[in-house]
Amino acid sequence: MSVQAVRVEPSPVSLSHLQRLEADSIHIMQEVMAEAERPVMLYSVGKDSAVMLHLARKAFHPAPPPFPLLHVDTTWKFQEMYRMRDRMAAESGMELLVHRNPDAMARGINPFDHGALHTDLWKTEGLKQALDLHGFDAAFGGARRDEEKSRAKERIFSFRSANHRWDPKTQRPELWRLYNARKNKGESVRVFPLSNWTELDIWQYIQLESIPIVPLYFAAPRLTVERDGMLLMVDDERFRLLPDEVPVERSIRFRTLGCYPLTGAVESTAATLPEVIQEMLLTTTSERQGRAIDKDATASMEKKKQEGYF
CB of 168 to another protein, least distance (A): 6
Verify binding: residue 114, another protein, rule CB under 8 A. no
Contact with another protein (CB under 8 A) among 86, 245, 275, 307: 275
Verify binding: residue 31, another protein, rule CB under 8 A. yes
Residues contacting residue 204 through CB under 8 Å, at least 6 positions apart:
18, 277
Verify binding: residue 229, another protein, rule CB under 8 A. no
Neighbouring CB atoms inside 10 A of 146's CB total 19
Residues contacting residue 9 through CB under 8 Å, at least 6 positions apart:
none
Q: With CB under 8 A as the contact rule, which of the stretches 42-50, 133-141, 253-261, 269-277 interacts with another protein? A: 269-277
Contact with another protein (CB under 8 A) among 149, 227, 238, 240: 149
- The residue (of 73 and 199) whose beta carbon lies closer to another protein is 199
Q: Which of residues 200-219 bind another protein (CB under 8 A)?
A: 200-201, 204, 207-208
Residues contacting residue 272 through CB under 8 Å, at least 6 positions apart:
218
Strand partners, 112: none
Verify binding: residue 4, another protein, rule CB under 8 A. no
Verify binding: residue 125, another protein, rule CB under 8 A. no
Phi (first) and psi of residue 267, to 5 degrees? -70, 130
Residues contacting residue 228 through CB under 8 Å, at least 6 positions apart:
none
Per-residue contact flags (x/-) with another protein for residues 163 to 192, judged by CB under 8 A? -----xx-xxxxxxxx-x-xxx--------
Verify binding: residue 30, another protein, rule CB under 8 A. yes
Report the distance separating Cα 14 and Cα 218, nearest Å: 33
